[in-house]
Amino acid sequence: MNAVVLYMSKYGSTKQYAEWIAEELGADIFSADSFPPENFASYDTIIFGGPVFGGVIMGIAKISENMHILREKRLIVFTVGITSPDADKILADLLEKNFSDSMMKHAEMFHFQGALEYKKLTMGHKVLLKMINSSMKNKLDLHQNHVSRDTIMPLIESVRGKTAEE
């Protein structure tokens, strides 16, 4: 298997998960911003990770704009946010909003919980979070960290299992 892990990260959780995934798989790792599309040809497995802000997967355009190349590759996308991985309806809505039909059919999807440290947020994210939180019956904990290396194991097992079959 020749894999690359690409990621976008705003506050560090996605980068941490990407580093762990690359380490476990012996994969190359790049910030998605620094990875030219012509380099996709060098890999058979593309793993992309992006944080979720306001229902949008940051950096997903890098994947959607290159689906004509990626159709021939194994594509895995992982998202990172404060939403629980058990929130099926929310995650289904996230995919519907961010994935084209071809991405939905082709990509394997994983969601990992990240961290929320209010003091590290940009002013814009603080304002958005306060607005969201004020409208919620059950308020968000503004200081939470769910980042755990164990979380990536289903993705790792999926990659390794598929590779072993080929």
- Which burial class, exposed, middle or buried, applies to 83 when counting CB atoms under 10 A from its CB (0-12, 13-18, 19+)? middle
- Domains held by the chain: number: 1
Identify the CATH number of the domain in which residue 146 sits.
3.40.50
pLDDT tens, residue by residue, 17-53: 999 999 999 999 999 999 999 999 999 999 999 999 8
- d(C-alpha 100, C-alpha 103), whole Å: 5
Question: What tens digit of pLDDT does each residue of 38-91 get?
Answer: 999 999 999 999 999 888 899 999 999 999 999 999 999 999 998 877 888 888
Dump the DSSP string for 60-77. THHHHTTHHHHTTSEEEE
Residue 164 has pLDDT above 50, yes or no: no
- 116 — phi, psi (to 5°)? -135, 110
117-130 residues labelled b (16+ CB within 10 A) or e (exposed): eeeebeeebeeebe
* Amino acid at position 147, single letter: V
pLDDT digits 0-9 by tens, 85-138? 788 888 888 888 888 888 888 999 999 999 988 888 889 888 888 888 788 777
pLDDT of residue 162: 64
Predicted structure pTM score: 0.86
Check: CB of residue 26 under 8 Å from CB of residue 2: no
In terms of residue numbers, what domain contains 160?
A: 3-165
pLDDT surpassing 90 at residue 15: yes
